[in-house]
Structure 1
Amino acid sequence: MPRQVDHDARRRQIAEAVWRLATRGGLEDVTLRQVAAEAGVSARLLQYYFGTRSQLLLGALEILNTEGEQRARQRIALLGEDPGMHAIVRGVLLELLPLDEERRNRHLVYVAYFVRFLADPDLAAAVHQTPPALENLIADLLTGAQELGRLRPEVDASAEAAFLVAGAEGLQASVLLGQHTPEQAVTLIDHQLSRIFSPTPGDPPSA
């Protein structure tokens, strides 16, 4: 009886090869043949699962994003049944910081993609067409906090969400470069959140 193939596992196996190559030397000159060799599969099989080189890079990035979102939900779930909007927003922003090996490796892959997107108009176009999901999520959370009286009424939720995401992404780079420690980055995030949230006993939660 033929062995059942786990297609999701095979796609992830190939995506992991892209991530390893990205962290070792970037994605500017990575070829389908190199990815196939790294993944231990044939180039034909790689093309069967992903198609062109651009489709491969975008597909591997989509898998990385999906797994990052799943891990973020798991960590936020650990905050308890009713953590409050402050804690949830904080948890989302901390996912942008390389606070452990898993997040550090993920952000190193993102750096490689960032450089590749700057050089490849087709890949850049795909990114430009993607709505700013993280900003929108945080804006919705801030709006909800404002309706509950937990966010200062003068705060512009959309503008603040854009600022917080940009700030966290900047801290991400500075931590990777060693300019800030992870602890310093978390303290800066907490400082910004304390500026816009109305104080409540117990805020902010521990990291």
Structure 2
Amino acid sequence: MANEEARLPREVTHRQRRRQIAEAVWRLAARGGLEDVTLRQVAQEAGVSARLLQHYFGTRHGLLLGSLQLLNEDAQLRARERVEALGSDLSLRETVRAVLLELLPLDDERRALHLMYAVYFVRFLTDAEMRELASGGGDGVKDLVEQLLVGAHAAGEISDLPRPDLDAAVLVASAEGLQGQMLLGQITAEAAIALIDHQLDGLFAVG
């Protein structure tokens, strides 16, 4: 294991190795699902020894959980970068829209991300620790949308907002439902975006 570690600079070895192994999990899962992925397969796919894999993640459960954590970190980072790239002159409505669109598979990167969450879905049903990790990300999006709605109401962009928590929950749940329909090819990206815009038009109507 020492020889393997020597291939990378000390300050980046841990982070890069974990990512290297996690990306191997994602590739295997994308090709054939998650349930039959073994430590040996992941080690071979990642080009590392089984001993090194266990050093970083321990058990198979630790490997799947750690890979999910890295997936979440990637998703949050990319979403933040895309929203920030839109600039600081966005209205609060436009900001809410941008956040909701991050929940849709609108390009290859987001499609791959949401497909991977779909692959993990069966594990979420049976594994409380993974389910908590997955639902934490969802609550974070809902809380952010709720804060933006409250800010929009204070700024006069929304005239009536008795239950911002429920409005935020409905917006996020709708976007997540559209996500699944898009992955299955049941709705186009244009139609999904139009539905989100329709919801926002009704919520942000001032009069």
Q: Same fold (TM over 0.5)?
A: yes
The 10-residue stretch of structure 1 (112-121 or 14-23) with the greater mean CA deviation from structure 2: 112-121
Task: Work out whether residues 72 and 137 of structure 2, in 8 Å CA contact, stay in contact via their aligned partners in 1.
Answer: no
Task: Work out whether residues 134 and 165 of structure 1, in 8 Å CA contact, stay in contact via their aligned partners in 2.
Answer: yes
Q: TM-score under structure 2 normalisation?
A: 0.87
CA distance in 1, matches of 2:135, 2:144: 18
Q: TM-score under structure 1 normalisation?
A: 0.87
Letter in 1 for 2:49: S
Structure 1 residue 186, shift from structure 2 partner: 0.8
Point out where structure 1 has 5 or more consecutive residues left out of the alignment: 200-207
CA distance in 1, matches of 2:69, 2:180: 21
Structure 1 residue 82, shift from structure 2 partner: 2.0
Structure 1 residue 103, shift from structure 2 partner: 0.3
Residues 41-56 of structure 1 mapped to structure 2, 5 A cutoff? 41-56=48-63
Misfit runs of 4+, over 4 Å:
125-131
Distance 1:183 1:130, change over 3 A: closer
Query: Residue 92 of structure 1 aligns with which residue?
Result: 99
1:39 partnered with 2:46: yes
Residues 105-124 of structure 1 mapped to structure 2, 5 A cutoff? 105-124=112-131
Residues 1-207 of structure 1 mapped to structure 2, 5 A cutoff? 3=7, 4-5=9-10, 6=12, 7-124=14-131, 127=134, 132-198=139-205
CA distance in 2, matches of 1:154, 1:48: 51
Q: Which has the higher helix share?
A: 2
Query: Residue 202 of structure 1 aligns with which residue?
Result: none
CA distance in 2, matches of 1:182, 1:129: 26
What is the number of residues matched between the two proteins? Answer: 198
CA distance in 2, matches of 1:174, 1:188: 12
Structure 1 residue 130, shift from structure 2 partner: 7.2
CA distance in 1, matches of 2:75, 2:128: 25
